[in-house]
Amino acid sequence: MIILKSKQEIAYMREAGKILAHVHEVLKDAIKPGLTTKELDELAEAEIKKHGAEAAFKGYHGYPASICTSINEEVVHGIPGLKTLKDGDIISIDVGTIYKGYYADAAKTHPVGVVSEELQQLMEVTRQSFYEGLKYCMEGNRLSDISHAIQSYVESYGFSVVRDLVGHGIGQNMHEDPQVPNYGSPGRGPRLVEGMVLAIEPMVNMGTHLVETLQDNWTVVTADGKPSAHYEHTVAITKDGPMILTSFS
């Protein structure tokens, strides 16, 4: 069942999202060769608490950290630890916050030091694919119109979208209906209406779309070992078009 949100509920999620946007900026500024992913996790948790929110991921289904840190071929759910960032890496950071009982969720992929042009393109295509999907976040469109726009854009650059993992509805729970795939034919699924809030999150691989989960039962990696990027915002459907809740503006 899709739970529609009132304007007040969306306002709470907007506050959670603003805190989350700040946390992402702090993390972006901290990224450098030699830093451990555990240090990033500690920094994020401190910032989330400082702004009166809770870390949504910590303890979620037993997840042991406040953020997910996925490097190079790691797609999502990489667990922070003593792994050190190296020049030329890319790192995807996924963060969730809770404010007054409402969730926000966002992810971004960043370069570590100087990265190759190929990796720069992977990150930019992943980011832009989100905005291609956002164009269809209008009342009356179908959910799969978003999915199709993302897939079409990504594949036009020769990259692939992950199919085993999808975006999701979000509100008083981290994961709600509906699922939001990053692929598929247009014109399918529920119609978009005011009050829907979606976490739209393209996960884009340089090679095959196939993925595997490591023995830690969390970290998802590309099946061919090629790099992957991730970009996500929490988006509300409104009468006036889409509202990104996890940004400053």
| Domains within the chain, CATH numbers bracketed | 7-244 (3.90.230.10)
Average pLDDT, integer, range 88-117: 98
pLDDT, tens only, 13-48:
999 999 999 999 999 999 999 999 999 999 999 999
pLDDT of residue 30: 98
Q: At what angle do helices 117-134 and 143-156 cross, to 10 degrees?
A: 160
Report how far apart, in Å, the C-alpha atoms of 242 and of each of 107, 136, 206, 211 are: 18, 9, 29, 31
pLDDT for 26 equals 98
State what percent of residues in the chain have pLDDT above 90.
99
State how far the Cα of 100 lies from the Cα of 5, in Å rounded to an integer. 14
Please work out, in degrees rounded to the nearest 5, the angle formed at the alpha carbon of residue 6 by the alpha carbons of 237 and 168.
Answer: 50
The model's confidence at residue 249, banded by pLDDT at 50, 70 and 90, is: low
**Mean pLDDT value across residues 53-80:** 98
Q: Which amino acid is at 36?
A: T
- DSSP, residue by residue, 79-132: PPSSPBP-TT-EEEEEEEEEETTEEEEEEEEEE-SS--HHHHHHHHHHHHHHHH
pLDDT tens, 134-191?
999 999 999 999 999 999 999 999 999 999 999 999 999 999 999 999 999 999 999 9
Whole-angstrom Cα distance, residue 88 to residue 110? Answer: 10
- For 151-169, b where at least 16 C-beta lie within 10 A, e where not — what string? bebbbebebbbbeebbbbb
Give how far Cα 209 sits from Cα of 161, 179, 190, 228, Å.
Answer: 6, 18, 25, 10
pLDDT over 70 at 59, yes or no: yes
Q: Where are the alpha helices (DSSP H) in 110-198?
A: 117-134, 143-156
Helix axes 7-30, 37-50, angle to 10 degrees: 140
Cis peptide before 178 (omega within 30 of 0): yes
What is the 8-class DSSP label of residue 190?
A: P
Amino acid 248: pLDDT = 81
> pLDDT, tens digit, for every residue of 160-172?
999 999 999 999 9
